[in-house]
Amino acid sequence: MTAFLPTKPATLHDVAKAAGVSLITASRALGNPGIVSEKTRVRVEQAVEATGYIPNLLAGGLKSKRSRMVAGIVPALSVSQFLPTVQTLTAALHEEGYQLLLGQTFYDAEREEEVLAAMVSRQPDGIVMMGLVQSERARERLRRLRVPVVETWDMSDRPVDMVIGFSHLKVGSALAGYFLAQGYERIGIATGSDHRAMQRREGFLAAWGRDVPTAVVPAPSTLERGRLALGELMERQPGLQAVMCSSDMLAHGILVEARARGLRVPQDLAVTGFGNAEFGAHMVPSITTVHVDGPEIGRLAAHLIMDRCRGVASAQTRHDLGFHLIERGSTAQP
Binding site for DNA (CB under 7 A): 8-9, 11-13, 21-25, 27-28, 30-31, 35-37, 39-40, 53, 55-56, 59-60, 62-64
Which is closer to a copy of itself, CB of 65 or CB of 310?
65
Q: 198 burial class (0-12, 13-18, 19+ CB within 10 angstroms)? A: middle
- Helix (H, G, I), strand (E, B), or coil: what is residue 116? helix
**95 C-beta neighbours (distance < 10 Å), count:** 10
**Nearest distance in Å: CB 29, DNA:** 7
Q: Which residues of 240-276 are buried (b: 16+ CB within 10 A; e: fewer)?
A: bbbbbbbbbbbbbbbbebbeeeebebbeebbbbbbbb
Find, among 61, 59, 97, 102, the residue nearest to 82 by Cα: 102
Q: Choose which of 10, 86, 130, 197 interacts with a copy of itself (CB under 8 A).
A: 86
Q: Choose which of 17, 30, 50, 80 interacts with a copy of itself (CB under 8 A).
A: 80
Asked if residue 2 binds a copy of itself (CB under 8 A), the reply is no
Find, among 97, 105, 25, 95, the residue nearest to 73 by Cα: 105
Asked if residue 72 binds a copy of itself (CB under 8 A), the reply is yes
The listed partner (DNA, a copy of itself, none) that binds 314, CB under 5 to 8 Å by sort, is none
**Nearest distance in Å: CB 27, a copy of itself:** 14
Sheet holding 214-217: strands in order across? 214-217, 187-192, 242-245, 270-272
Rounded Cα distance, 318 and 162, in Å = 6
Per-residue contact flags (x/-) with a copy of itself for residues 185 to 224, judged by CB under 8 A = -------------------------------------xxx
> Is the CB of residue 116 less than 8 Å from the CB of residue 138?
yes
Asked if residue 76 binds a copy of itself (CB under 8 A), the reply is yes
Which is closer to a copy of itself, CB of 283 or CB of 326?
283
The listed partner (a copy of itself, DNA, none) that binds 193, CB under 5 to 8 Å by sort, is none
**291 C-beta neighbours (distance < 10 Å), count:** 14
Say how far residue 1 (Cα) sits from the centre of its chain: 49
Binding site for a copy of itself (CB under 8 A): 6, 54-59, 61-62, 67, 69, 72, 76-78, 80, 83-84, 86-87, 90-91, 94, 97, 99-104, 114-115, 117-123, 144, 222-224, 227, 249, 252-253, 256, 259-260, 278-279, 281-284
